[in-house]
Amino acid sequence: MSTAAKLRANAKVNLSLDVTGIRDDGYHIVDMVNCSVTLFDELEIVMMPGESFSISSNVRYLPTDERNLIWKAAKRLSDKTGIPMPEAKVTVRKRIPSQAGLGGGSADAAAALIGFNLLLGLGLTKDELSVIGASVGADVPFCISGGTARVGGIGEVITPLRDELSYPILIAMPRYGHSTKEAYAMLDRVPEIHHPDIGSVITGLCEGDADKAFSRAGNVFEDVFSDEVTLELKRKMTADGALYSAMTGTGAAVFGIFPRAREALEARDLLRAEGYGAWVTYRADRGVETVN
């Protein structure tokens, strides 16, 4: 049995995001089209018999205690299976920005669940891991499944989609982040929400029709969290050739769908010159990839 694993935890982009209601327990019901992208964090898990569970990272802002979603994932895995908390060291190399709507923490948790399932020989299926992941965070089940999918419920209902489009995705990050909790609280106070047409997005992706896929896409959180920087990033991307641009998740990152890599790379360089974090990514078939 292996004693170490390296994994890539891919970010996600919400190609379209709708909130359709609130459950009695206060959780919001979503209807989204998500895709995994090739911007990723790297996790290295090393089993350390006799040692306590620990997390280290290349960035100072990341909590490395019980607040970290990796830690929560390991604890929920332990509780679910009855095994002790893993005796392991997890090293995280962060590339996905925080408070961006890109699911970085959830992707890391998904990678931890998949990695420990492999290293401990637990034999859990993706569906079983997703049930555990849902108790850690709403985006974790999708990050375990990956690819392109319709996501419903509170994030736990995953329906894989056939995506016949091939497109570079430019992601830009302002110098600040957004709080997901605050975003949902603000959304609840909005009297009228402009709902995207999720069905049209799905049909367009399946038919390889970009106009149909993105002409009626959208993100309801732009009604509450869209500011001058968000609008300016969308305007710049559109002016530089993007077919569609929107905020992902609750933000603050904005993405643009470009027809060709050349336009996306040129737009990236212009945004970097203005001080934004900017990355050209592509659709990924999986949410988590094992490196070895």
The residues carrying an active-site annotation are 12, 139
DSSP codes, 213-248: HHTT--BTTHHHH--HHHHHHHHHHHHTT-SEEEE-
C-alpha closest to that of 48 among 40, 36, 56: 56
Which CA distances in Å does 255 have to 65, 79, 114, 163?
A: 31, 38, 28, 18
Q: What would you report as the CA-atom Rg of the chain, rounded to the nearest whole angstrom?
A: 19
C-alpha closest to that of 53 among 69, 42, 64, 67: 64
Dist CA 94 CA 77 (whole Å): 23
C-alpha closest to that of 18 among 195, 203, 249: 195
Dist CA 165 CA 206 (whole Å): 8
Residue 19: helix, strand or coil by DSSP?
strand
63's CB contacts (< 8 A; 6+ apart) are: none
